[in-house]
């Protein structure tokens, strides 16, 4: 598993290095069930039951976890461009175009509030031991921040909400209520015109200084904006 290569690609994307051509990752398998639960959702773009949670993506550089960005494309394998959140969702089925910079920053704040302290510890467990209310809450929060403005997934709230009940509602609403005080974490996106796009946490493996020197100091300014791992 070459997580250093994945980290380098994602860092290049979020760092917006102008001299780099578009980088890609090939996803050969999508496991959407192990860290998800079936939940009802209501929105302008999709209404019904869905697997909601973290998706384990197998790539040529190893496995990583992603969260769905759009509500109109299915998850699938294929070649994905490594990019920034501001370029997502990108799809021929997307009626609204990419998210605004403000929405992208709210997702970065969500990662700062919840991903490292709540979600990542669950993803490090076996699927049977993981708390899927936490992974589902994070996914629902991502969708709410993109497709709604009310910072709530409670039934009947706004234009995106859940029609199911569970602890994931409290988790999601609590996290979104803490965004104002959060920092901007480093988050990248995997984009495909035909299939689901994914938000990906950007790791900085130790020793971080060695990776940064290989990428170029142009990244440092961005990384200081938010939290890294």
CB 123 within 8 A of CB 54: yes
What CA–CA distances, in Å, run from 96 to 22, 93, 200, 206?
23, 9, 22, 39
Q: What is the pLDDT of residues 79-123, one digit of tens each?
A: 999 999 999 999 888 878 899 999 999 999 999 999 999 999 999
pLDDT tens digit string along 26-74? 999 999 999 999 999 999 999 999 999 999 999 998 999 999 999 989 9
pLDDT category at 10 given cuts 50, 70, 90 is: low
Q: Which of 183, 210, 202 is nearest to 82 (CA)?
A: 202
Round to whole Å and give the CA distance between 140 and 90: 19
Q: So what's the pLDDT on residue 93?
A: 83
Q: How many CB atoms lie within 10 A of CB 164?
A: 18
pLDDT-derived band at 225, boundaries 50, 70, 90: very low
Contacts of 61 (CB under 8 A, 6+ apart): 1, 2, 3, 5, 6, 9, 25
Q: What is the pLDDT of residues 129-180, one digit of tens each?
A: 999 999 999 999 999 999 999 999 999 999 999 999 999 999 999 999 999 9
Average pLDDT, the chain: 85
Q: What is the DSSP letter of 125?
A: S
Q: Which residues have a Cβ under 8 Å from the Cβ of 91 and sit 6 or more positions away?
A: 70, 72, 73, 192, 193, 194, 195, 197
Q: To the nearest whole percent, how much of the chain has pLDDT over 90?
A: 73
pLDDT at 1: 46
Using CA atoms, how far apart are residues 73 and 29, in angstroms rounded to an integer?
A: 16
Q: What is the DSSP string of 38-58?
A: EEEEE-SS-EEEEEEEEEEEE
User: Model confidence over 176-190: pLDDT tens digits?
Assistant: 999 999 999 999 999
Q: pTM value? A: 0.83
- pLDDT score at 73: 92
CA dihedral 96, 104, 73, 228 (to 10 degrees): 170
For residue 33, what is the DSSP state? E
**pLDDT at residue number 18:** 39
């Amino acid at each position: 598993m070459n997580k250093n290569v994945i980290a380098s690609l994602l860092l290049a994307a979020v760092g917006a290095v102008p001299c780099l051509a578009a980088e890609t990752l090939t996803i050969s398998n999508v496991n959407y069930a192990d860290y998800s639960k079936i939940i009802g959702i209501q929105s302008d773009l999709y209404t019904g039951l869905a697997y909601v949670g973290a998706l384990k993506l197998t790539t040529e550089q190893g496995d990583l976890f992603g969260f769905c960005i759009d509500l109109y494309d299915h998850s699938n394998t294929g070649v994905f461009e490594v990019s920034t959140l501001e370029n997502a969702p990108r799809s021929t089925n997307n009626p609204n175009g990419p998210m605004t910079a403000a929405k992208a920053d709210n997702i970065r704040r969500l990662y700062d509030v919840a991903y490292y302290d709540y979600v990542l510890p669950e993803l490090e467990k076996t699927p049977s031991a993981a708390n899927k209310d936490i992974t589902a809450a994070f996914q629902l929060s991502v969708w709410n921040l993109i497709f709604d403005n009310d910072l709530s997934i409670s039934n009947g709230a706004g234009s995106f909400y859940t029609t199911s009940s569970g602890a994931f509602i409290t988790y999601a609403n609590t996290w979104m209520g803490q965004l104002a005080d959060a920092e901007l974490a480093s988050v990248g996106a995997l984009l495909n015109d035909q299939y689901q796009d994914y938000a990906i946490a950007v790791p900085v493996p130790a020793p971080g200084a060695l990776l940064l020197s290989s990428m170029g100091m142009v990244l440092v300014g961005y990384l200081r904006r938010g939290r890294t791992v």
